[in-house]
Amino acid sequence: MKVIKAKDYNDMSKKAAQIIAAQITLKPDSVLGFATGSSPVGTYQELARKNQAGEIDFSNITTVNLDEYRGLPQEHEQSYINFMNTNLFDHVNIDKANTYLPNGMAEDPEAECARYEALIQELGGIDLQLLGIGHNGHIGFNEPSDRFEKATYCVSLTERTIEANKRFFDSADDVPRQAYTMGIGTIMAAKKIVVVVSGEDKADAVKKCIEGPITPSVQGSILHLHPDVTFICDEAAYSKLK
Ligand code: F6R
């Protein structure tokens, strides 16, 4: 596990974008796994800037996202597909037909999970997966549990995650209770993983993931077992590491 200390959020974002840009340059038809939330927004801005400056080309890139709320239509402001369009896809020369997320409105959740998992396999797997971490150490929506899930599944969100995500909705009551998420097995099969973390409120989660034992009660701790993981932490998120 590599840990890179960044000065602040901006520096963290630039460093992450540099790694993703290198991936795109070395393999222009990469399959990139993307995340939503506050952590990667600056990374997406920097990738869009690089694309507009002609430094990187998204025309042959395919993307798959980690997760999507269950029950939010695509047009909903807080759907993750809308997040990806607004924060990245609308600003780069990607073919949107090659951008994939779970379908939050699918009628049959089990079939949707199987479809999404099969799609990732058909694409040949993920070359680089970008992750954020939740305060409880979750990655994707893999919440603290007594086991690690292998493949894409439909999950009930914890109160802590609902509380953390209510900032994007009118109230906690409006936060969907379920989401589709890649399983830990799906994430761990990515060839390369980059984790962006910022802020003091994430310092405990970072410490548990990087220095703690591997346990499903801190799902991000599994990353220890991956051969190519880079954490990019700003100073505050890094502050509790030995
Ligand atoms: C988002 C995701 C989540 C977030 C995590 C951190 O697609 O899968 O695991 O990465 O909740 O969220 P932020 O970055 O908003 O603190």
Is 112 tagged catalytic? no
Q: Which of 194, 225, 202, 76 is nearest to 128 (CA)?
A: 194
Give the 3-state secondary structure of residue 36: coil
The single residue listed with the structure tokens 């890179």 is: 4
pLDDT per residue as tens, the chain (242 positions) = 999 999 999 999 999 999 999 999 999 999 999 999 999 999 999 999 999 999 999 999 999 999 999 999 999 999 999 999 999 999 999 999 999 999 999 999 999 999 999 999 999 999 999 999 999 999 999 999 999 999 999 999 989 889 989 999 999 999 999 999 999 999 999 999 999 999 999 999 999 999 999 999 999 999 999 999 999 999 999 999 99
Maximal C-alpha separation, the chain = 47
Predicted TM-score (pTM) above 0.95: yes
- The closest-lying atom of ligand 1 relative to the alpha carbon of residue 139 is 9
CB 95 within 8 A of CB 82: no
Please tell me which residue in 87, 136, 142, 165 is annotated as part of the active site. Answer: 136
Is 93 tagged catalytic? no
